[in-house]
Amino acid sequence: MSLQIDETHDPARTSWVVSANGHREFPVQNLPFGIFSPRGSARRAGVAIGDCIIDLRGLTAEGFVSCDAASVLHHETLNALFALPSEERVALRRRLSEGLSDSAYRDRLQPYLHKASSCTLHLPAQIGDYTDFYVGIHHATNVGRLFRPDNPLLPNYKHVPIGYHGRASSVRSSGVPVRRPQGQLKPPDRDRPIFAPSQRLDYELELGLWVGQGNALGQPVSIAEAWKHIAGLCLLNDWSARDIQAWEYQPLGPFLAKNFQTTVSPWVVTTEALAPFRQAASARSAEDAALPYLTDTQDQQFGGLALELSVSLLTKRMRYEGMAPFRVSQGDASGMYWTLAQILTHHTSNGCNLLPGDLLGTGTLSMAEREGFGSLLELTLAGSEPIALPTGETRSFLEDGDEVLLSGVACTEGRTNIGFGACRAMIVPAP
Amino acid sequence: MSLQIDETHDPARTSWVVSANGHREFPVQNLPFGIFSPRGSARRAGVAIGDCIIDLRGLTAEGFVSCDAASVLHHETLNALFALPSEERVALRRRLSEGLSDSAYRDRLQPYLHKASSCTLHLPAQIGDYTDFYVGIHHATNVGRLFRPDNPLLPNYKHVPIGYHGRASSVRSSGVPVRRPQGQLKPPDRDRPIFAPSQRLDYELELGLWVGQGNALGQPVSIAEAWKHIAGLCLLNDWSARDIQAWEYQPLGPFLAKNFQTTVSPWVVTTEALAPFRQAASARSAEDAALPYLTDTQDQQFGGLALELSVSLLTKRMRYEGMAPFRVSQGDASGMYWTLAQILTHHTSNGCNLLPGDLLGTGTLSMAEREGFGSLLELTLAGSEPIALPTGETRSFLEDGDEVLLSGVACTEGRTNIGFGACRAMIVPAP
């Protein structure tokens, strides 16, 4: 068994949509799906191509897309598209790649192109359930070290893909401002908690996984089948109020510290587009071998992802001074101790049912070194070592007016890079 | 401000649906909402009355219900009904009470009555998010004592209404069998976990709260307004695999130990029907006073509920021998350290948005004494003291073929008791 790499991935393929050629994120090799509305018009499915979006509803009405997938492209969410067998998504991808690369189709398809800058992007799916994992081993180690310097990783970490349920209702697309949460905080020097705006507001750099085909309650998904249940990926910022979290999280885990908002990049970079960027999962010693239900040869060979990830910050003053966002960390996805297939299979291993459009977060993807830490909690050693910004400002945690920007690009030798698009949001003051 | 108690609560009111008079759960004073399908027919909204269900879709088509609520009674879920202002639900309740009690309406409404025994009941709403709390102070104390005999309650318990997100996709209505989950178990005498069917499968006796009107992201619901956001209550069984839980729950809380299934009673007992059964919340010392955002005079006066709760067990052998379910515990709702208004307000206090049809569980409602413990974990002291059943069988935890039945009845002096209906499900073997 090998991964399906076909003509849609050919680096020589160019598009008649000129802005796509050499585009950092959306060349014709990417073709991510999303839900958008042209100014003042209704929501519809689209695909990003260069600086434009092509209207899939229009293409089906026009008759250009007539494969089995066409019937699901009239909806205002992608849930029905996600629910298709992956073969049908592949057929759709090939047809779209053909239409957008062969200039013979230009006159026919041009009317369905919109400038992305004049469109609004929305959440791609109605999210039934959102689950967040903890697969970043460097993050788990960094955070654990704050509490247990000698023994940062808990005994279950290398056996169980740790995860917990998050809040589906408060997931928002890139660009929606994040209101600073109020909550119970208990400063160490006080006997009792106070109710006040969080003073330790943080971001977390994660990947999001959009569930494709679901599974019935009571019927686990085997590790060999898991990838077929993944529709695609996005960037995900798991905003976290560290002071609320510290006081509330025992014994049932994070709750109000996390559920006030979660930001995702609105484009779904499909598993098909990511095929050339899959690589070996991070190596494990024999002693750390996963249990059989989480072990699969193909997953070991192709469970990793060649993704460059970074976080940038833009403060109010930087914005005022016309400065570009300042990169505070840069790394890749190599810190994933568990693969996407492993978290999906683990999630269903007890019979729990996943539905198309469910969202799974990976957890914070930090590197082993400080330059690649994926949260301020780690970068500033829990606030004790503020980071310096080019304005002379410092940050222990986020201030009102700060904007956080996540970036992700898949890149590997001999292939055209593809990107995830924007995942950014600004902090606005507590009510 | 006082609670609205009107003619619909009059104990002297009887129904021309004869089975309703003296009915243990569904007299004309109750009128809970649900979604049902008559044999072979489509889902529709209904109200339980005695041994029957009246078809609300039919009543609106007929013109009997013409209040503002009528337009939402054509849906296949109650989400839109829940989203109405509570005044509109009150008007609907009064109209239904009138129609079902005044025999002048008999001929007109009779055609819309179905025998409940020939109908299937469904989940009343599409659940956006499900959250489970931990308000039962005796349960928290009993469970805490297993780990920390001298200091069972954690320091945050009396300040924070502890809660966590559960799984919406696996909530099922009464009667749907529960497949024993498999998962990672780590017996104390082994170095490494195994993957096997849970050997410590348990139930938890809870109340469920159906969210009525929601709140916008970033806009908390004040404690004074909280009750208006509650559409009604149900019984809820938070099935729990104690062995999976013990190994997975650090540091992010319960996950696969709980999300394989949650069972609810399908009838929504409305806040309007429960008005006469509201009573003072459990008293607190001045030292334990809640923070101001969780404090309200009306809530202190009416935040408690006069509910009798019990759990019964029916094993395969009991069923074979034709025995009735055996009651293993009996108590009431007095162990709620936090009121329903407090958990709802706390949930939104950071700006988290609730949607109509969201489900909030209270957490296990145990009594201080063993007779009223709401889980086997507590009743059997973590399995060390099995309970005896009338067949001579014993149980530490649930076995395949065991059926668990929760029961809840609201009762108070001078009022007609109203009940919640069935919340039962049987354990079937792991795959």
B362-390 tens-digit pLDDT: 999 999 999 999 999 999 999 999 999 99
The reply to whether residue A251 touches residue B162, judged by beta carbons under 8 angstroms, is yes
pLDDT at A1: 47
Q: Which of B244, B293, B355 sits opposite A195 (nearest CB)?
A: B293
The reply to whether residue B253 touches residue A183, judged by beta carbons under 8 angstroms, is no
Q: What is the largest CA-CA distance in chain B?
A: 73
Q: Which of B164, B218, B249 sits opposite A179 (nearest CB)?
A: B218
pLDDT at B2: 63
Name the average pLDDT for chain A. Answer: 96
> Averaged over A407-423, what is the pLDDT?
97
Question: Do B351 and A179 form a contact (C-beta atoms < 8 A)?
Answer: yes
If you count residue pairs, one on A and one on B, with CB atoms under 8 Å apart, how many are there?
188
In this complex, is the C-beta atom of B243 within 8 Å of any C-beta atom belonging to chain A?
no
> Averaged over B408-415, what is the pLDDT?
96
Q: Does B147 score more than 90 pLDDT? A: no
pLDDT at A2: 64
Task: Kindly give, in sequence order, each residue whose CB lies less than 8 Å from that of residue B104, ignoring residues fewer than 6 positions away.
Answer: none
Convert the pLDDT of each residue in A43-52 to its tens digit: 999 999 999 9
The reply to whether residue B165 touches residue A165, judged by beta carbons under 8 angstroms, is yes
Question: Do B58 and B112 form a contact (C-beta atoms < 8 A)?
Answer: yes
The token duo for A422 is 């924007």
The reply to whether residue A181 touches residue B350, judged by beta carbons under 8 angstroms, is yes
| Rg for chain B, CA atoms, rounded | 21
Alpha carbon B55 to its chain centroid, in Å, reads 23
Is the ipTM of this structure higher than 0.85?
yes
Predicted TM-score (pTM) above 0.90: yes
In this complex, is the C-beta atom of A105 within 8 Å of any C-beta atom belonging to chain B?
no
**d(CA B195, nearest CA chain A) in Å:** 7
> Averaged over B156-179, what is the pLDDT?
98
> Averaged over A94-122, what is the pLDDT?
97
In this complex, is the C-beta atom of B175 within 8 Å of any C-beta atom belonging to chain A?
no
Convert the pLDDT of each residue in B82-117 to its tens digit: 999 988 999 999 999 999 999 999 999 999 999 999
Strand, helix or coil for residue A31: coil
Q: Does B231 score more than 80 pLDDT? A: yes
> Averaged over B258-285, what is the pLDDT?
97
> Averaged over B60-81, what is the pLDDT?
87
Question: What's at A317, amino acid-wise?
Answer: R
pLDDT at B200: 98
Convert the pLDDT of each residue in A64-88 to its tens digit: 997 677 788 889 999 999 999 988 9
pLDDT at B1: 47
pLDDT at A149: 86
Q: Does B69 score more than 80 pLDDT? A: no
Task: Work out the pLDDT band at A170, boundaries 50, 70, 90.
Answer: very high
Name the average pLDDT for chain B. Answer: 96
Share of chain A above pLDDT 90, in %: 93
SS3 string, chain B, reads CCCCCCHHHCCCCCCCCHHHCCCCCCCCCCCCEEEEEECCCCCEEEEEECCEEEEHHHHHHHCCCCCHHHHHHHCCCCHHHHCCCHHHHHHHHHHHHHHHHCHHHHHHHHHHEEEHHHEEEECCCCCCCEEEECCEHHHHHHHHHHHCCCCCCCCCCCCCCCEEECCCCCEEECCCCEECCEEEECCCCCCCCEEEECCCEECCEEEEEEECCCCCCCCCCCCCCHHHHEEEEEEEECCEEHHHHHHHCCCCCCCCCCCCCEEECCCEEEHHHHHHHEECCCCCCHHHCCCHHHCCHHHHHHCEECEEEEEEEECHHHHHCCCCCEEEEEEEHHHECCCHHHHHHHHHCCCCCCCCCCEEECCCCCCCCHHHCCCHHHHCCCCCCCEECCCCCEECCCCCCCEEEEEEEECCCCCCCEECCCEEEEEECCC
The reply to whether residue A165 touches residue B162, judged by beta carbons under 8 angstroms, is no
Q: Which of B129, B249, B250 sits opposite A167 (nearest CB)?
A: B129
**d(CA B8, nearest CA chain A) in Å:** 35
Which residues on chain A are in Cβ contact (under 8 Å) with B159?
184, 186, 192-193
Share of chain A above pLDDT 70, in %: 99
The reply to whether residue B169 touches residue A352, judged by beta carbons under 8 angstroms, is yes
pLDDT at A95: 96
Task: Kindly give, in sequence order, each residue whose CB lies less than 8 Å from that of residue A26, ignoring residues fewer than 6 positions away.
Answer: A20, A32, A48, A49, A50, A51, A267, A418, A419, A421
Task: Work out the pLDDT band at B237, boundaries 50, 70, 90.
Answer: very high
Poorest-pLDDT segment among A220-224, A360-364, B38-42, B180-184: B38-42
pLDDT at B116: 98
The closest of A2, A10, A3 to A27, measured between CA atoms, is A10
